[in-house]
Every structure is written in structure tokens, then in C-alpha cells.
Amino acid sequence: MQHSGYIQFRMTAIGFALIVLTAMIGPMEARAQNTAATGMTGTAQVRDLLNRRCVVCHSCYDAPCQLKLTAPEGVARGGTKQVVYDTDRLTDAPPTRLGLDAGTVPGWRALGFHSVTADPGQLSLLERFLDLGRAAPLPEGEPVPQELGLSINRELVCPSPQEFDAFRRKHPLAGMPYAAARLSDAEFTLLRDWARAGAPFDPAATDLPPSVKAQVDRWEAFLNADDPRSRLTSRYLFEHLFLARLHFPDDDPRRFFQMVRSSTPPGQPIAVIASRRPFDDPGARPFYYRLQRVTETIVHKEHLVYPFGPRRMDRYRELFLEPDWSLEQLPPYGDAEGGNPFSTFAAIPARSRYEFLLDDALFFVRSFIRGPVCHGQTAVNVIEDRFWVSFLDPDADLSVTDPSYLARGAAYLELPVARADEGVLGDLQSLYHRNQVEYLQFRDARYRNSPAHRTGFGYDAIWDGGGTNPQALITVFRHFDNASAMTGFHGDIPETAWVIDFPVFERIYYNLVAGYDVFGRVAHQLATRLYMDELRMESEDSFLTFMPAEIRTRMHDGWYQGFLAELHTYWHQRRLDDDFPTGIAFGTDNPKAEFLLALLNRGDGLWPVTDPINRCAGHACTSDPSAALLRQLSSRTGPWVRYLPDLSVLLIEHGQDRTEVFSLVHDKAHSNVAFLFREHARRLPRDDTVTVLPGLVGSYPNFFFRVSSDALPDFVAAVKAIRSQSDYMDVIATYGIRRTSPDFWRLSDRLHEMLARQAPVQAGVLDLNRYKDPKAGDQPS
């Protein structure tokens, strides 16, 4: 099982880009055209090139014009003017999920999609956009022209074939690749000829090795067992794993499966039941849980790997089928049931459910991030730019140890999606947070009156991973409009930290993943965001209960500075329980740091106790020459910090045979994160710092810097000397790789090669949509 949150890059020269990158492509099923029909002799090179030059922007729900180039079906589907992320949408939009909501090209045309391909010999939109980019290439190494917008919220034109001529006249620089370096002659010719031939794909191989087929059969038999306990267990698993990329141990590192509900039984072709949410009524009776092979290109931002082998099945039996529990009847489906999983799955022991989440805590935390909810600034400004997460031990969690806790408290734990069927009025009612207020009062009273908790929480109340699971400690980074997570505690001591218990963990998952509808109305999205605000504060407050009672309010007020933040606390009727003692006898005047470092010291080798770049002293600091130099940038404030992008990738070249990669993560400081809007008014740039991490962090790199190992001291000195945008532009001119640089694609390819070699199961195509284009007139963030 792979738990590493980032990839260490220490590489020798790499000379097989095509082999490695082709391995990152999932097998594809041809729909509209195949090579036999067009006369092309093969499209392996085309698929590789599409991934390296096109899928880096055209993937997932934020693909421009919903032109998703990760599969032949996406090319055949084409583009549309409809926007997935629409903050003005007053009613739910029809979903347009590739592979689910239409099975034929005419079906997609009926949903408003237009063709980007053509019959062989005809000029297609693909070819015309390629020709446009060829006819008007952007100046090499220069800023992108102002008329080419780069914001993820920019208004898109998405011309149909009939509108393209007018589009070309109005937007002569908007060819492909958009706002990036031109394709080489060979790349252009290959893609143009492919588009001219009708965009064909080789038929995908569908046969599985016998050993893999046997595992699929065993799992489908397990998931479709017909007794009531097994059926409820399988429903619980599906609702939590429907986004997972299931991978069998020792299998091809690029072969994944996805759990789906099908109207057809095992042994027959899968007919996926396309519901908006995983807890919607499947309609078909009977229906079956099936493992469907993932055929799209694997993209990093949605790649949630979940190991799925015999040991996993044994663990499920241990958690769900061996304990003594029963149920009178299976619960119904629907928003009300999905909106309160504590009631829906009450029959399954709470310990089983919580340990299921803890076993793969990083997977579930990443699902909050890599699911469709995590898009744009207001989706992630509910969290700090860096914070540490730990989990309440099951033996210390009353929702696990006391059956009456959830029996009485579940009524308070209803999520906003529970009222989705009631329309906007239901959404608005869910904004009223009375349930949360009453739940916190209930929770505080239960813990205060619990004989087992009268002396407060001690260190043993924090889950230690059972001595074997490094996912007990997690670092979460926010990168302005996206986020990432990794195991262990990274960077300097953060401003805030969370302690997550079972009720919080399950509610975050159902709020942000299972219950979130990316095609839903704005009121639903607002309710989801505001409820996450409640869960963040609850997790922070749980952390504060480990601190000395007399400093809790002061610490909280430091996290929520300003009159509006005080009003926010008052409105949410939040009162820290200063009467609940701590079970820890602190020995320093910095209890927060003492507590967090003590958690690290319990790991017995599960994670690094120190951070040799960002948090170290003396012999604990790195001896690596490059990392030692970069320590001058780490965990330090300064006027230079605010000029750096949210996530920079630094490539240090040691001649021709070795390249090191580091991520420079901009940790932005805020007076509080209590509100959706006007974040700039709550920024504290003087307190910004940088966390330096070996390897690649995140899915959306904002900028590449390249430096030779000999010039690294000069790069560090130049960055520390930045005092103005002009100074920053000088650094860009010397060390930066612009979108229009002739080396832009070469460095992108190199990063993908490294990722694929170092972590072939976890690797995926990065998203370059949010790559920055620094200009002299920019204001620092």
C-alpha cells in the first residue's frame, strides 16, 4: 500500500519519454472512429501526444468547453457552451458526465454538445484550432497577450463548427495549444493528420489476464452477496468508494477499476445506472455492484488510488461481517438517507465504520480535495493554507464507544443534502445552523459527563495508526484555488490544527463528496460550503480541547481576528468549553508545538519526526547541498514571499545526468478564514512563509523555475532580494519558464516522466490550466 504524500525526485538521465508516458494512458474504447475505418496504421503516438499537449488542460469537469480529451468518447462527444461550474445557476442542470449521461453521439448532441471531429477528408474543429495556433504562434519567452484570459473563471466562447470563422476573426491568437508554446513541426503534423482522418483511435484491448479476471469475479461475488447484512455493507462501501481507482496488488500499475451499480449481473456487459448521487435510488431491481475498468487517461487531480486485494476483503469481513449486528429491514434510498448516514447505516457498528475511514485516512482526505467540489477560490478558502490533521482514537470517541451517543445524537447530524429534494427552500433552510448548535451542546455535555473523560483527553486519545499506519498524521495544503494532502506533518508548526472524530469525518465525506452535486444549483453549493465552515470550526475546537483550558479562547481568537470574525463566532453561537480539562501536563510555554511534536515522536518510524528543511535544528537538518541552500527560503517571512506563486516547481539540473525537483509552497497568512468573499481584505502578507518540499506537490503547478546546481546560490539570493514586481520579473527572466518558452513542454514532459517512474500507480497527468503568466503590472497576492 502506498502512503507517500509526495514523490522524492533524485533522478539519473531519462531517455524513454514515450514509453513511460504511454504507460500513463489508460486503455481506450473507440466509439466514433477507429484506425481500421480511416486507414491510419496506429494511434499510440497520437494518444501519447494528446496526453502531453492537450489533456494537461482538457480533462475532468474543468476542461474548457467540456471538451474532455482523456478518452475517445470525449473526443466523439465534442464541446459545449454549457458551464459545469456555474455560480449563477438557480436550478439544477442536467448532468453531462462522460460515460454516464449519454451513450451515443446523437445523445450528446441532444444535450447541447457539438462535434469537434469530421468525416475523413473534412475540416474539423480540432484541425482548425490547430491551424489557428500554427498561423499565429505566440512570441517565444514573452508574456501571453493580454487578450488571452487565463482565469479558470474566464468566459469561454466555445464556437461550434458553424461559428468558427467568426471566432477566428475575433480571436486570432486563440489557437491550440491555448496560451502556450507552439507545437514542434512533427507534433503539429501528427495531430493534424490524425484530426484530418476523423480523430480515430485503435480498438482497445478488453481481455483481462486470468489472474485479474479471477479477482474481479471474487470481488463481484463478495459485493453482491444477498443476505441483508452483506447488502447494507456493500451499499456502505459503494457510497464511500464510487470515486476510487481500485488497484489490485502486483497488477499492471496502470490498470484500475471503478465500482459502479449496474442493471446487469456479473458475467454480462456492464450497464451503469447513472444516478446523480451514489445514494440515489438505483431504480432497477435487482441491481448489481460491478467493477468497471477505467479506460480514460489517468489525470492526477482526480486519481484516488485504493488498493483492492485479498487482504482488503479479509479486512472488510473483519470490520463488517464478523461483528455481531443485525437489521430488521434495509434502509431506503434518497437525499434524506444520504443526508444522514448515521441513521441510514445505524445497524453497522460505529467502530467498524470509523476504522474503515481511518484505515485509508489519506484516501478520504484526498477525496475531499480531488473530488469535483474542490474547484476555485471560494471552494477552498474555507481552510487555512497549511494545517495539520490528526484523528481521535476510536477508544476515546464516544460516538464509537457509547451506542446511545449516535442513537440520540444522529438527529443533529443531518447534512444540507438531506433537504435537496425540497428545492431552494430546502437549501435555504439548511443554511440555518440550529442543528449544529444543538449538536455541539449535546457533544460537550456528553463528554463533560462521561466518566472516562473526566480528566480530559491525553495523548492516548489521538489515534497512532495502530503502530503501523502512517496515515494517522496528515498535512493539508491549500494552493489558492485547489489543495493537496500528504501523510506526516510537513513544514513548520502551523497556525491551526484539526482533530477529526468519527462524526466529523463522515460528515465531511458526505458533504463534500457523496452528497455534492457539481451540476447542482448555487444554493446547494453555498449550503455545502457553509456547512464545511462548521466542520472546520468543530475540528479546530476539538484540537483546542487538548490545550490548557486557560489559553483556548486566546488561541481561538488568534485564528479569528477582526470584528467580523468575532461576529461570525457570535452568529454561530460557538463557545469553547473551558470547563472541560486537558489530560496533558504540558512542560513548556508553547503547548501547541509541544503537543504536535509529541504526536510526531510517537510514530516509531512511521513518519519523519523532524522536517530537515523547514523545521529542524543542528544535526536534524538536511545535509543535502541543494536542500541546505533552500533552507534559506523555508519557514521564513519576508517581503519577497508574497511575490511567489502558490505552488512553484523548482528543477535543479546537475549536468546532463541528474535533476532534482523541489516544490515551493506559498503559505498565505490570513486574519481569519471565516468568510467566502473579500479574501484579499483578510490577507496578512507580512506573515506569509514558504514551505520547501522535495518532489512534486499538488496537481496544478503554477510555475516552473529551472536552475543549474552551480547557480542555485544565486537563485536563492535573487529570490530573497525581491522587493518589487520589477525584481520578481528579473527572477522570471533569469530562471523562469514561461508558458511561451521553447522549453515549457520539454520540462513538463520531464516532470511527467519522473512522476511515472517514481510512483507508477499514483502517477497521473498534471493540470497546466492554472500555470501563471507573470506580467510587469501584476500586483502581488
Q: What is the pLDDT of residue 42?
A: 66
* 181 and 38 inside one domain: yes
pLDDT grade, residue 677 (50/70/90)? confident
Q: What is the pLDDT of residue 338?
A: 85
Q: What is the pLDDT of residue 781?
A: 82
pLDDT grade, residue 675 (50/70/90)? confident
**233: closest CA among 336, 365, 352?**
352
Contacts of 30 (CB under 8 A, 6+ apart): 72, 200, 201, 202, 203, 204
pLDDT grade, residue 579 (50/70/90)? confident
* 520 and 638 inside one domain: no
**Least-confidence region, from 99-113, 604-618, 635-649:** 604-618
Structural domain includes residue 220? no
Residue with grid cell 501536563, as numbered in its chain: 585
**How many CB atoms are located within 10 Å of the residue 663 CB?**
24
pLDDT grade, residue 7 (50/70/90)? very low
* 603 and 707 inside one domain: no
Q: What is the pLDDT of residue 41?
A: 53
Tell me how far apart the alpha carbons of residues 458 and 585 are, in angstroms, rounded to a whole number: 9
For 262-319, write each residue's pLDDT tens digit: 999 999 999 999 999 999 999 978 999 999 999 999 999 999 999 999 999 999 999 9
* 569 and 676 inside one domain: no
Helical residues (DSSP H) of 200-346, grouped into ranges: 210-223, 228-241, 310-316, 335-338, 341-344
* 628 and 604 inside one domain: no
Per-residue CA distances from 73 to 142, 207, 301 (Å): 36, 20, 20
* 625 and 603 inside one domain: no
674-695 average pLDDT score: 88
Q: What is the pLDDT of residue 427?
A: 60
Greatest mean pLDDT among 111-120, 180-189, 567-576 lies in 180-189
Above 50 in pLDDT, residue 25?
no
Structural domain includes residue 326? no
* 640 and 602 inside one domain: no
Average pLDDT value for the chain: 90
For 305-323, write each residue's pLDDT tens digit: 999 999 999 999 999 999 9
Q: What is the pLDDT of residue 452?
A: 94
* 646 and 580 inside one domain: no
Number of H helices, E strands in the chain: 29, 14
Please say whether the beta carbons of 306 and 259 come within 8 A.
no
374-378 average pLDDT score: 57
Structural domain includes residue 245? no
The domain total for the chain is: 3
pLDDT grade, residue 572 (50/70/90)? low
Structural domain includes residue 350? no
pLDDT grade, residue 381 (50/70/90)? confident
**How many CB atoms are located within 10 Å of the residue 39 CB?**
10
Which residue, of 196, 223, 258, is where some domain finishes? Answer: 196
Q: What is the pLDDT of residue 618?
A: 75
Q: What is the pLDDT of residue 120?
A: 62
Grid coordinates representing 658 are 541528474
Q: What is the pLDDT of residue 284?
A: 72
Q: What is the pLDDT of residue 577?
A: 79
Residue 646: which domain range?
618-758
**Least-confidence region, from 31-40, 434-443, 741-750:** 31-40
Which residue, of 196, 226, 246, is where some domain finishes? Answer: 196
729-756 average pLDDT score: 97
**479: closest CA among 556, 370, 390, 628?**
370
Beta bridge partners of 262: 272, 288
The CATH number covering residue 670 comes to 3.30.1050
Above 90 in pLDDT, residue 325?
yes
* 424 and 561 inside one domain: yes
Q: What is the pLDDT of residue 48?
A: 95
Structural domain includes residue 320? no
Q: What is the pLDDT of residue 17?
A: 34
pLDDT grade, residue 6 (50/70/90)? very low
* 634 and 575 inside one domain: no
pLDDT grade, residue 419 (50/70/90)? confident
Pairing mode, strands 689-694 and 497-500: unpaired
Of residues 674 and 194, more confidence is placed in 194
Tell me how far apart the alpha carbons of residues 293 and 264 are, in angstroms, rounded to a whole number: 15
Please say whether the beta carbons of 369 and 494 come within 8 A.
no
Tell me how far apart the alpha carbons of residues 22 and 230 are, in angstroms, rounded to a whole number: 39
* 570 and 637 inside one domain: no
Tell me how far apart the alpha carbons of residues 673 and 188 are, in angstroms, rounded to a whole number: 46
Structural domain includes residue 93? yes
**Least-confidence region, from 70-84, 376-390, 466-480:** 376-390
Structural domain includes residue 53? yes
417-437 average pLDDT score: 71
CA-based R_g, the chain, Å: 26
pLDDT grade, residue 391 (50/70/90)? very high
509-525 average pLDDT score: 92
Residue with grid cell 468543530, as numbered in its chain: 538
Structural domain includes residue 239? no
For 144-165, write each residue's pLDDT tens digit: 999 999 998 899 999 999 999 9
Q: What is the pLDDT of residue 122?
A: 66
Q: What is the pLDDT of residue 348?
A: 98
Q: What is the pLDDT of residue 674?
A: 77
pLDDT grade, residue 409 (50/70/90)? very high
Which residue, of 196, 211, 228, is where some domain finishes? Answer: 196
For 463-507, write each residue's pLDDT tens digit: 999 999 999 999 999 998 899 999 999 999 999 999 999 999 999
Grid coordinates representing 727 are 525584481
Predicted TM-score (pTM) of this structure: 0.92
Tell me how far apart the alpha carbons of residues 279 and 274 are, in angstroms, rounded to a whole number: 11
Above 60 in pLDDT, residue 203?
yes
* 560 and 672 inside one domain: no
Tell me how far apart the alpha carbons of residues 553 and 571 are, in angstroms, rounded to a whole number: 17
**613: closest CA among 603, 623, 604, 605?**
623
